[in-house]
Amino acid sequence: MKEKETTLKVIAEKLNISITTVSKALKDYSDVSPKTRERVLELARELNYTPNSFAVNLRTKESKTIGLIIPEVVHHFFSSVINGIIAEAEKNEYLVIILQSNESLELEKKQVQLLINKRVDGIIMSLSNESNDDDHIREIIQRNIPFVMFDKISKIIPCSKVIIDDQKAASAAVEHLISVGCKKIAHIRGPVNPQNAIDRFLGYKKALEKNQIPFDKNLVYTCVRVSFEEGYAFAKEICENHPDVDGIFVITDLVAVGVLAYLNEHHIKVPEQIAVIGFSNWFMSQVIQPKLSTVDQPSYEMGVSAFNLLLKEIKAVKEEQPKVIENVVLDTQIIVRESTKK
């Protein structure tokens, strides 16, 4: 036999008072006498009462749950962001539903629909490489659902964003290569679509210009999958076709590690013959040989501020205040390790 759930009703019946009073007692309303409040609290504790969140959701029209869509979970950067988001969410008594788009626009669209249908209180998102300012994103805005983008954003969508200054960071990385004596610097860039790949490429170009190094489009290699293997393959191409390249700026550490693997295997000295700098400061980068120089991106903090921006929007929407769009740009930092220490 199943014991029945403890609801306001059973408490009310046992105490011979109304459901209303029970509810008020539990929520510290002022119009319930200390005596009855005490009796209610005690019985509630005894019967292990927990409010039925389904009913609360329906009544209050909020679920204290947010949705998070990211391209990949198994990814040092993204899992760190997740970490920041769920930590901050928990502090504020929010739960986080995580979905993974696998870099597929189609999946991403489905997932946005899922979250809208679930009526989450807000959505945090980093776009897939295929995605830009598409209808599904616009629908979120249109429905006035609190919405924050981070990292892989779309510039033209009007919403709060948490990013780094990719262009500036990339410039700094390339200037670091120049400062250690590199004269001919290749760039292994990310896919054509994502804004941060574009910005890092622009940063690369700008740093060259600033230092009177001619830009050569043949020295730019474009990743499709942003993988270890691509790094390996492009390193091979660079060495075979441009033996005078003495520095490589790579879109992200994972790819840079592929580059190092090729260079190591072919006994090309890093950094003496070719200096390499990555991006994102994956954990891996500090344990490989040679240790990889990189750009540190505050991933955990990104998660924290993305959640806090979202929370602000959630509150604003609840109080029917006008929406405030806020952009947070977090600082990056060049981490110099062996791969550029000439």
Q: Give contact residues for its own copies (rule: CB under 8 A).
A: 50-55, 57-58, 61, 63, 65, 73-76, 79-80, 82-83, 86-87, 90, 95-100, 111, 114, 116-119, 228, 257-258, 261, 264, 283-284, 287-289
Q: How far apart are CA 132 and CA 181, in angstroms?
A: 38
Cα gap 150→228, rounded to integer Å? 24
Q: Is 113 in the site for DNA (CB under 7 A)?
A: no
Distance of closest approach, residue 88 Cβ to DNA, in angstroms: 24
Write out the E strands in 76-230. 95-100, 122-125, 147-150, 160-164, 185-189, 220-222
Identify which of 263, 255, 258 has the alpha carbon closest to the alpha carbon of residue 280: 255
Question: Using CB under 7 A, which of 3, 31, 244, 319 touches DNA?
Answer: 31
CA dihedral sign of residues 64, 158, 115, 98: negative
In the list its own copies, DNA, none, the entry touching 280 (Cβ below 5 to 8 angstroms by class) is: none
Q: Which two tokens stand for residue 277?
A: 């700098």
Residues of span 224-283 touching DNA by CB under 7 A: none
In the set 2, 3, 48, 59, which binds DNA (CB under 7 A)?
59
Please choose which of its own copies, DNA, none residue 8 contacts, taking the beta carbon within 5 to 8 angstroms, the exact cut-off set by kind.
DNA
Query: Using CA atoms, how far apart are residues 75 and 79, in angstroms rounded to an integer?
Result: 6
Gyration radius from the chain CA atoms: 26
For residue 195, the partner it binds in DNA, its own copies, none, with Cβ less than 5 to 8 A by kind, is: none
| Closest approach of DNA to the CB of residue 279, in Å | 46
Min separation Cβ 29 and DNA, Å:
7
Residue for token pair 């869509």: 69
Pairing of strands 220-222, 247-250: unpaired
Binding partner of residue 142 among its own copies, DNA, none, CB cut-off 5 to 8 Å per kind: none
> What residues line the site for DNA (CB under 7 A)?
5, 7-9, 16-21, 23-24, 26-27, 30-36, 49, 51-52, 54-56, 58-61
